[in-house]
Amino acid sequence: MTTATDSLPVTDNPFTLSHLDALEAESVHIFREVAGEFERPVILFSGGKDSIVMLHLALKAFWPAPVPFTLLHVDTGHNFPEVIEYRDRTVAQHNLRLHVAHVQDFIDDGRLRERPDGTRNPLQTVPLLDAIESNKFDAVFGGGRRDEEKARAKERVFSLRDEFGAWDPRRQRPELWSLYNGKHAVGEHVRVFPLSNWTELDVWQYIEREGIELPEIYYAHHRDVFKRDGMWLTAGEWGGPKETETVENRLIRYRTVGDMSCTGAVDSDAATIADVITEIAASRLTERGATRADDKMSEAAMEDRKREGYF
């Protein structure tokens, strides 16, 4: 037998969470679950939009208490200055602890060698694993999302890594009913992805709703760039442009932020959050597919790096 209330749309229920509220609640639950299960968690914080949203969620999860986790950034030395300035300002603003692992230190002491193409993104793995081992971090929060790239689509929220930091998809555990298994052997650790079920559009809509500040390079601005492999790259000490590459001043913005040598800009006049949301809603390319040269090195570039211990 049906009643009058059976025909009401779900949105009329005052106890129904909105889409963003449900995502936020899931992420907050994940942060609190890790705080209860692990001894030395750490948050990967680069100053990119996903890590900024992740930190915002962590602040909400434990407010009014301080965030009980250290922050970790693997600095390639080729980062955008605007992003590093934002990172340091945010750490100071919230009185957080930040550990920085410098790729340059590993090049200087011979543990890493510069690549011929000048990009240092693939060189982040060794400093990351060294920081995890030396600081005995047993859970590492990352801002990866399943919509970004097909290898990340395979990732669980709690992703087990072996004693070498490697990811094996066959060892991943089921997560039915949002029950997370953090058990791991000595020397192993777990990567945790609170934004797994978010999309790029979700992230920007949440940024708009929460009034979250971002580095200015996420919005349209004029910049000197040159074209390489179909992407607009910023000139820098890493080795660009070549003699055959012409520098142009264009109105661009960045959809994702990483090493300057492999992060491409997109032509855009999106100067506000609302403009960016409209632009993303119409896009048919993921942010990494459109703007990350390191993911184009091979068909399985991301999966290969994850098996080696990458983010």
* pLDDT for 275: 97
pLDDT in tens, 84-105: 999 999 999 999 999 999 999 9
At residue 296 the predicted structure's pLDDT band, cuts being 50, 70 and 90, is very low
Where helices occur in 193-247 by DSSP H, the ranges are 200-210
Residue type, 265: A
Residue 27 sits in the same domain as residue 110 = yes
Confidence tier at 308 by pLDDT (50, 70, 90): low
Of 33-37, 97-101, 261-265, 278-282, which range is least confident? 261-265
Cβ-based burial of 37 (10 A; exposed 0-12, middle 13-18, buried ≥19)? middle
Cα pseudo-dihedral 82, 126, 120, 95, rounded to 10 = 0
**305 or 189: which leads in pLDDT:** 189
Q: SS3 for 126?
A: helix
**pLDDT value at residue 188:** 92
pLDDT band at 23 (very low <50, low <70, confident <90, very high): very high
CATH code, 89 = 3.40.50.620
Q: What is the pLDDT of residue 91?
A: 97
Is residue 298 pLDDT above 80, yes or no? no
Domain count, the chain: 2
In a domain, 209, yes or no: no
Give me the helices (H) in 121-212, please.
125-134, 150-153, 200-210
Beta bridge partner(s), residue 228: 231
Same domain as 220, residue 193: no
**Res. 246: pLDDT tops 80:** yes
Cα separation, 50 vs 11, in Å, equals 28
- The rounded distance, in Å, linking the Cα atoms of 30 and 33 is 5
Q: Kindly state whether residues 38 and 181 are assigned to the same domain.
A: yes
pLDDT at 210 over 70: yes
Give, for 304, the enclosing helix (H) or strand (E): helix 301-308
CB 46 within 8 A of CB 263: no
C-alpha span between 100 and 120 (Å, rounded): 16
Q: Average pLDDT for residues 243-256, to the nearest whole number?
A: 91
Q: Are residues 39 and 130 in the same domain?
A: yes
**CB-CB contact of 301 with 295 (8 Å):** yes
Q: Which amino acid is at 15?
A: F
Instruction: Domain of residue 73: give its range.
Output: 19-201+301-308
Mean pLDDT over residues 100-118, rounded?
92
Judge whether 111 lies within some domain: yes
Q: How confident is the model at residue 292 (pLDDT cuts 50, 70, 90)?
A: very low
Statement to judge: residues 120 and 222 lie in one domain: no
- Position 10 in a domain: no
Same domain, 184 and 285: no
Question: 90 and 45: one domain?
Answer: yes
Average pLDDT over residues 57-80: 96
Which residues is 231 bridged to in the sheet?
Answer: 228
Q: Which residues contact 48 (CB under 8 A, 6 or more apart)?
A: 83, 143, 256, 257, 258
CB 106 within 8 A of CB 126: yes
Residue type, 124: Q
Q: Is residue 179 part of a domain?
A: yes
| Bond preceding residue 174 cis, omega within 30 of 0 | no
Task: Clarify whether residues 26 and 120 are in a common domain.
Answer: yes
For residue 1, is it within any domain? no
Residue 76 shares a structural domain with residue 136: yes
Residue 12 lies in a domain: no
Q: Above 90 in pLDDT, residue 58?
A: yes
CB atoms within 10 A of CB 35: 16
pLDDT attached to residue 286: 67
Q: 126 is written with which tokens?
A: 């060794």
Q: Are residues 54 and 164 in the same domain?
A: yes
SS3 208: helix
Within a domain: 112 = yes
CA distances from 236 to 79, 141, 215, 247, 264 (A): 10, 30, 19, 12, 13
Confidence of residue 147 (pLDDT cuts 50, 70, 90): confident
Give the helix/strand (H/E) hosting 67: none
User: Residue 291 has what pLDDT?
Assistant: 55
In a domain, 184, yes or no: yes
Model confidence at 108, pLDDT cuts 50, 70, 90, reads: very high
DSSP annotation of 296 reads: G
Q: Report which of 27, 41, 309, 306 is spatially closest to residue 152, judged by C-alpha positions.
A: 306
In whole angstroms, give the CA distance from residue 264 to residue 285: 13
3-state secondary structure of 252: strand
144 and 106: one domain? yes
Considering the domain architecture, whether residues 39 and 158 belong to the same structural domain is answered as: yes
